[in-house]
Amino acid sequence: MSRAKRSLDWGFPRWRGYGSSREAAKVRLCDRHGCEEPGNCPAPKAPNSPERWYFCQRHAAEYNARWDYFEGLEKAEAEARERSESSEAAGYRSAAHYGWAAAGDGSRSADEMRALELLGLEGDADFETVKKAWRAKAKEVHPDVKPGDEDAAKAFQAYQVAYEVLRQAEERREWRG
Ligand SMILES: [Zn+2]
């Protein structure tokens, strides 16, 4: 009976009865393709979006593990991904192979490339362009503009970190001449 019901569980969000067919016992399944664990770890899909992935602990850790430098950057990267990917499920899969360091002329670090990507810039953007992009992005999610918006606050924080990475890199380049 419950085995037969499973085939009805395709689609998003995925739900299934847990241990019984009673409505009250329904649990949400992990959004990772093919995973049958309960998805009880929400992960934001994009900045300023209330939408969440719901992963099991293992896949939430996998999702988060890709972001070890910028707190909150996964949201911005997810935004960039959603611009280029139409399918949500396919988006997560391809994002696992996303190569930050692949672009650019090789003179920038992977962190700089990530920061540029977050600001929506190419690898050859000069610092004036960086400053302009950062101001525009930060303005959109500034706490004064979106008070009490947790997602906006995190996006704002990510932009600050990205700008700081690029500013320090610019200074290092100037010292070197
Ligand atoms: Zn899972």
Q: Distance from the CA of 89 to the center of ligand 1, in angstroms?
A: 13
Report whether 78 contacts 44 (CB < 8 A): yes
pLDDT averaged over the chain? Answer: 71
Q: Distance from the CA of 108 to the center of ligand 1, in angstroms?
A: 35
Q: Distance from the CA of 123 to the center of ligand 1, in angstroms?
A: 34
> What was the pLDDT predicted at 61?
78
Q: Which of 81, 75, 84 is nearest to 43 (CA)?
A: 75
pLDDT, tens digit, for every residue of 19-64?
A: 444 444 567 888 887 888 888 888 777 655 677 888 888 888 777 7
User: What whole-number distance in Å separates Cα of residue 168 and Cα of residue 127?
Assistant: 11
> What was the pLDDT predicted at 131?
95
Bridge-based pairing state of the strands 52-55 and 26-28:
unpaired
Please enumerate in sequence order all residues whose Cβ is within 8 A of that of 111, keeping only pairs 6 or more positions apart, or say none. 69, 165
Bond from prior residue into 13 cis (ω within 30 degrees of 0): yes
Neighbours of ion ligand 1 (CB under 5 A): 30, 32, 35, 37, 56, 59
Rounding to the nearest 10 degrees, give the CA dihedral for residues 157, 129, 86, 92.
Answer: -50
Mean pLDDT of 126-136: 94
Q: Distance from the CA of 141 to the center of ligand 1, in angstroms?
A: 31
Q: Distance from the CA of 152 to the center of ligand 1, in angstroms?
A: 27
Best mean pLDDT range from 15-19, 99-103, 166-170: 166-170
> What was the pLDDT predicted at 9?
42
Mean pLDDT of 15-22: 48
Q: Distance from the CA of 60 to the center of ligand 1, in angstroms?
A: 7
Helices in the chain by DSSP H: which ranges? 2-5, 57-65, 73-84, 88-95, 110-118, 127-140, 150-176
> What was the pLDDT predicted at 16?
54
pLDDT of 115 higher than 60: yes
Q: Distance from the CA of 53 to the center of ligand 1, in angstroms?
A: 11
Question: Coil, strand, or helix at residue 70?
Answer: coil
Q: What is the pTM of this model?
A: 0.42
Q: Distance from the CA of 62 to the center of ligand 1, in angstroms?
A: 9
